[in-house]
């Protein structure tokens, strides 16, 4: 499904935030949110089992969410394989499962709200141009989040007329949050922004001051996907009452900008836990190319769910 975020959202009026009742005593609720871009591997099993274990320990629950906004890389057969592999591991989850690609309208509403606040701008730059501009970033901007590298924004903002004209002519663009505009918008709240990072077992909690520049002017709607991981995930966590986000440590920095998005959109702040990433025998983080580590391949080799837990020290 290919949609143009700009034209989609321009015709929509901002809608109110989802009705989220904030109850500090509400039960622990987490989520496992895989993307169906390949078969689940040992690293996914670890993530799902950690979430399940944390929810059990806290007497709460977790939900499954399918993060398939990238319709070019996500495949329906991988989606059904997720259900199959998780069930094989012995996990269960509440239905219905939130499938992000069925909810592009929700994300367009969120985008329209950000647009109405003037905290996002269209970015027409190519990947190459962005990389060139990143050279001028004062800190190590090589780290890449799920949506690419750290880009601190244009030296000179584009005029609204030029932006509108280029969009009207059909030129492709992404929407980015202007951290400068977000800062001005949030004013004194900006300096007080923080999040709670808990130890994986929930034992130790630290308050971390937010450093939004860690991810720069983040993409909230991709050129090719009408929304980005960041916006969709923040929106859905709030919508589904997720109060404990548990995910890989590669996404620790994302928590900083997710707090900015939550504050702009008036969404509650979950607590965060980040787990280690599982590596292959060569010590490299598991990826799609590690075909022998998929749960399917391991299952076919006669590995049991109990063996998986053992291997993961769970």
Question: What tokens appear for 23 in the block?
Answer: 């109850």
Q: Are 123 and 176 in contact (CB under 8 A)?
A: yes
DSSP letters spanning 205-232: EEEEE--GGGTBS-EEE-TTTSS-HHHH
233 sits near ligand GLU (criterion: CB under 6 A): yes
For residue 175, the 8-state DSSP code is E
Q: Are 228 and 176 in contact (CB under 8 A)?
A: no
36 sits near ligand GLU (criterion: CB under 6 A): no
Q: Which region, judged by CB under 6 A, interacts with ligand GLU, from 31-39, 108-116, 127-135, 209-217? A: 31-39
Nearer to ligand GLU by C-beta: 199 or 287? 287
Q: Are 148 and 142 in contact (CB under 8 A)?
A: no
Q: How far is the CB of 59 from ligand GLU (least distance, A)?
A: 22
Closest CA to 79 of 69, 95, 68: 68
33 sits near ligand GLU (criterion: CB under 6 A): yes
The residue within the footprint of ligand GLU, chosen from 34, 38, 212, 216 (CB under 6 A), is 34
Number of residues in contact with ligand GLU, rule: CB under 6 A? 7
Nearer to ligand GLU by C-beta: 122 or 222? 222
251 sits near ligand GLU (criterion: CB under 6 A): yes
Per CB under 6 A, contacts with ligand GLU among 140-169 are none
> Which contiguous run of DSSP H or E holds residue 246?
strand 244-248
The residue within the footprint of ligand GLU, chosen from 29, 41, 244, 247 (CB under 6 A), is 247
Q: Which region, judged by CB under 6 A, interacts with ligand GLU, from 28-36, 108-116, 187-195, 262-270? A: 28-36
Nearer to ligand GLU by C-beta: 78 or 173? 78
Torsion (CA) 206, 209, 211, 214 in degrees, nearest 10: 0
Q: Is the peptide bond before 96 cis (omega within 30 degrees of 0)?
A: yes
Q: How far is the CB of 56 from ligand GLU (least distance, A)?
A: 19
Exposure string for 81-98, b = 16+ CB within 10 A, e = fewer: bbeebbebbebebeeeeb
Contacts with ligand GLU, 54-93, as mask; x by CB under 6 A: -------------x--------------------------
The residue within the footprint of ligand GLU, chosen from 9, 30, 35, 163 (CB under 6 A), is 35
Nearer to ligand GLU by C-beta: 34 or 241? 34
Q: Which region, judged by CB under 6 A, interacts with ligand GLU, from 32-40, 82-90, 96-104, 160-168? A: 32-40
Closest CA to 153 of 126, 180, 119, 172: 180
What lies within 8 Å, CB to CB, of 217 at 6+ separation is 123, 151, 152, 153, 176, 177, 178, 179
Residues that bind ligand GLU (CB under 6 A): 33-35, 67, 233, 247, 251
């Amino acid at each position: 499904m290919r949609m143009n975020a700009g034209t989609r959202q321009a015709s929509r009026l901002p809608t109110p935030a989802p009705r989220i009742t904030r109850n500090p005593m509400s039960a622990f609720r987490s989520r496992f949110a895989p993307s169906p871009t390949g078969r689940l591997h040992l690293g996914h099993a670890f993530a799902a089992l950690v979430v399940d274990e944390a929810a059990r320990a806290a007497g709460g629950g977790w939900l499954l969410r399918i993060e398939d906004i990238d319709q070019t890389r996500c495949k329906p057969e991988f989606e059904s394989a997720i259900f199959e592999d998780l069930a094989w591991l012995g996990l269960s989850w509440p239905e219905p499962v939130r499938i992000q690609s069925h909810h592009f309208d929700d994300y367009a509403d969120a985008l329209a709200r950000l647009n109405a606040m003037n905290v996002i701008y269209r970015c027409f730059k190519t990947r190459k141009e962005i990389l060139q501009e990143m050279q001028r970033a004062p800190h190590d901007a090589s780290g890449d989040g799920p949506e690419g590298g750290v880009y601190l924004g244009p030296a000179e903002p584009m005029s609204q007329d030029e932006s509108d004209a280029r969009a009207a002519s059909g030129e492709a663009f992404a929407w980015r949050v202007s951290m400068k505009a977000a800062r001005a918008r949030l004013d004194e709240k900006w300096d007080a922004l923080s999040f709670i990072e808990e130890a994986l077992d929930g034992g130790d909690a630290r308050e971390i001051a937010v450093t939004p520049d860690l991810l720069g002017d983040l993409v909230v709607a991709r050129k090719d996907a009408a929304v980005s991981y960041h916006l969709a995930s923040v929106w859905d966590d709030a919508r589904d009452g997720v109060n404990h986000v548990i995910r890989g440590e590669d996404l620790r920095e994302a928590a900083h900008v997710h707090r900015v998005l939550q504050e702009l959109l008036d969404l509650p702040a979950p607590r965060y836990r980040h787990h280690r990433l599982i590596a292959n025998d060569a010590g490299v983080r598991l990826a799609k190319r590690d075909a022998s580590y998929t749960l399917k391949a391991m299952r076919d080799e006669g590995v049991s769910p109990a063996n998986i837990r053992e291997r993961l020290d769970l």
